[in-house]
Structure 1
Amino acid sequence: MDTDQIPIRADHRLGCLPPVPPQYAYQRVAEDMANRIKSGEFPPGSRLPSRAKLCEQYEVSSFVADRVFLILKMQGLTESLPGAGST
């Protein structure tokens, strides 16, 4: 075999990309929310969507929404204020 050639698998389909590793829902949502915060969609001091709204927008469970808020807080992008939710 020529060393410049890469063997093609029998199931190779022209134009298909290699499979992308699966991403957990909380990772996907946290990444999107972080991008939205960094882009200025949620300026400093503004309120983020409620847990219920986040669940509705991203079609995820409340467990996932809670984890997203925790990740954003751990990344230093948000803070929780008692009685005010996440800002």
Structure 2
Amino acid sequence: MPAKPKWERLADHLRTQIESGELPPGAKLPSTAELCTEHKVSAITVRQAIFKLRTEGLIEGVQGVGVFVVDE
């Protein structure tokens, strides 16, 4: 079985943090630059992971402010 792409591994990591409550509802996710540095990935990889979580309804972006965990 091939290894998961980096964006998918990052999405899994963030999803786990959301589901465990480490990133609670209303919490702001780290910036793209912070995620790039922390996970040693490119900005494109971070954007793909964020897009995946957004399509799952776990997070939402606020233009010019940041990306937040959805408050159920």
Q: Distance in 1 between matches of 2:17 and 2:67?
A: 14
TM-score, normalisation: structure 2 = 0.88
Q: What is the aligned counterpart of 2:10 among 20, 25, 29?
A: 29
**Residue 38 of structure 2: aligned partner:** 57
RMSD, aligned α-carbons? 0.9
* Offset at residue 46 of structure 1 (A): 1.1
* Offset at residue 26 of structure 1 (A): 0.4
Gaps of 5+ in 1: 1-19
Kindly tell me the number of residue pairs found equivalent between the two proteins: 68
Write the letter of the residue equivalent to 1:60.
V
Instruction: Write out per-residue CA displacement over residues 17-76 of structure 1, whole angstroms, 9 at most, x where no aligned residue.
Output: xxx521100011101110111110111111001000100111000000111111110111
Structure with the largest fraction of strand: 2
Structure with the largest fraction of helix: 2
Choose between structure 1 and 2 for higher RCO, CA contacts under 8 A separated by at least 6 residues.
2
**Residue 47 of structure 2: aligned partner:** 66
Aligned-pair identity in percent equals 35
Write the letter of the residue equivalent to 1:70.
F
Write the letter of the residue equivalent to 2:53.
L
